[in-house]
Amino acid sequence: MEEFLSPKDSAQLIAENSRDVFIEEVQVRKVAEFLFDKVSAKEFSVTGWKALHELNPQAVSDDAVNWVFLADTLNFSFWSEHEDRKCLVKYRGKMYSGYWSLCAAINRALDDGIPITSATYYASMTLEQVRHVFRSDTDVPMPLIEERHRILNETGTILLEKFGGSFVTCVKMSEKSAQKLLRVVVENFPSYRDEATFKGKKVSFYKRAQILVADTWSVLEGKGDGCFGDISSLTIFADYRIPQVLVHLGAMRYSDELMRKLHAGVMFQSGDVQEVEIRGCSIWCCGLICDQLLELYKKKGQNMREKINAVLLDYYLWDYARDHREDMKEIPIHRVRCIYY
Ligand SMILES: Nc1nc2c(c(CN[C@H]3C=C[C@H](O)[C@@H]3O)cn2[C@@H]2O[C@H](COP(=O)(O)O)[C@@H](O)[C@H]2O)c(=O)[nH]1
């Protein structure tokens, strides 16, 4: 069977042939200059994953690794049809939306004594139990709850049958290689196979698989089994927020026709050519921003290869997008309901 191109090679092919999404090289450099003095910020460090996000596990433990595996197995499709009517989860007196509503629901279940991060539990959860654990505190439920139920049962069963019920087994099998762990995840867990066809070529994005590797690196603080020597080989995670912030910053641009569809709220299917172009160009654009950032530091005689990589750039841009929702409201997200991002 023909192999899929890696996310990086897929991004290059897509960016070189894209018809409706464009990378603005001049602006790419300006974004790198804008980020230049942010690199020393907390967001641009593996420690920011815990220090800046109270819902993330703070321990370095097997339970924390299995928390990450559960969260990234369900880390998709939180956008709502109407900004003023969305799923919200209240946890310890605070309301959480989007991705954070998932994390709040996981922690709420754990506080209630539900072993939601245990594969033995979620491999045989009923739909009703899933609805209860991931219930919203508004009348808008978390999207794709049936798919989440199916994926929990499927993923839990595989983790039990092949890896002793713990994602730590997969991490140890990867022998401190991010690419090996990515391969273990994609080969064994079908819901992570975030792939498409573009101009007759098999391309991949592996958004959830790559963010799972990145979050595993983060929860293990880049140490021990999480000391991935090739963490810089990962790309950014092609979700629906990164494209929005890249267009907002001017590094990426949509054709008038595509912008019209986005403003009209057109629903795309996973694998549509314009959806593939948005995701592939986002990956390639962020790779160029990373290169420019490294270049700027090199000019200052500083080798920042240990400090600047696509993972940390992604985390920074994603948090930036969260904090600048209002400023970005003119840039619509592309709407897809799928289990990949
Ligand atoms: N590219 C990228 N996409 C990310 C994340 C995360 C969460 N990771 C954070 C957690 C701790 C770390 O510090 C990370 O900052 C979620 N998503 C995606 O966003 C979308 C949800 O957005 P909203 O509806 O606004 O909540 C959805 O597709 C989800 O899959 C990321 O980091 N990068």
Least confident piece of the model among 23-27, 179-183, 303-307: 303-307
In a domain, residue 78? The reply is yes
In a domain, residue 318? The reply is yes
Q: Is 339 in the pocket of ligand 1 (CB under 6 A)?
A: no
Looking at residue 180, its pLDDT comes to 98
Closest to 242 (Cα-Cα) out of 7, 84, 57, 59 = 7
Q: Is this complex's ipTM strictly greater than 0.95?
A: yes
Looking at residue 45, its pLDDT comes to 87
pLDDT at 1 over 70: no
In a domain, residue 280? The reply is yes
**What integer is the mean pLDDT of 271-284?**
98
Q: What is the pLDDT of residues 86-113, one digit of tens each?
A: 999 999 999 999 999 999 999 999 999 9
Main-chain dihedrals φ then ψ at residue 258, nearest 5 degrees? -70, -40
Confidence class for position 306, pLDDT limits 50, 70, 90: confident
In a domain, residue 330? The reply is yes
Looking at residue 2, its pLDDT comes to 66
Q: What is the pLDDT of residues 313-325, one digit of tens each?
A: 999 999 999 999 9
Looking at residue 161, its pLDDT comes to 98
Q: What is the pLDDT of residues 3-35, one digit of tens each?
A: 999 999 999 999 999 999 999 999 999 999 999
Please name the residue whose Cα sits nearest to atom 13 of ligand 1.
49
User: How many domains are contained in the chain?
Assistant: 1
> The whole model's pTM is what?
0.97
In a domain, residue 341? The reply is no
In a domain, residue 329? The reply is yes
CA of 318 relative to ligand 1 center, distance in Å: 6
pLDDT at 219 over 70: yes
State what percent of residues in the chain have pLDDT above 70.
99
Quote the CA–CA distance of 65 and 212 in Å, as a whole number. 10
Looking at residue 43, its pLDDT comes to 73
CA of 216 relative to ligand 1 center, distance in Å: 14
Quote the CA–CA distance of 164 and 206 in Å, as a whole number. 24
Range of the domain at 136: 7-336
In a domain, residue 2? The reply is no
In a domain, residue 259? The reply is yes
Work out the mean pLDDT of the chain and round it to a whole number. 97
Looking at residue 42, its pLDDT comes to 76
CA of 99 relative to ligand 1 center, distance in Å: 6
**What integer is the mean pLDDT of 226-249?**
98
Q: Is 311 in the pocket of ligand 1 (CB under 6 A)?
A: no
To test the ligand 1 pocket, which listed residue (74, 80, 99) has its Cβ within 8 A of the most ligand atoms? 99
Quote the CA–CA distance of 218 and 181 in Å, as a whole number. 14
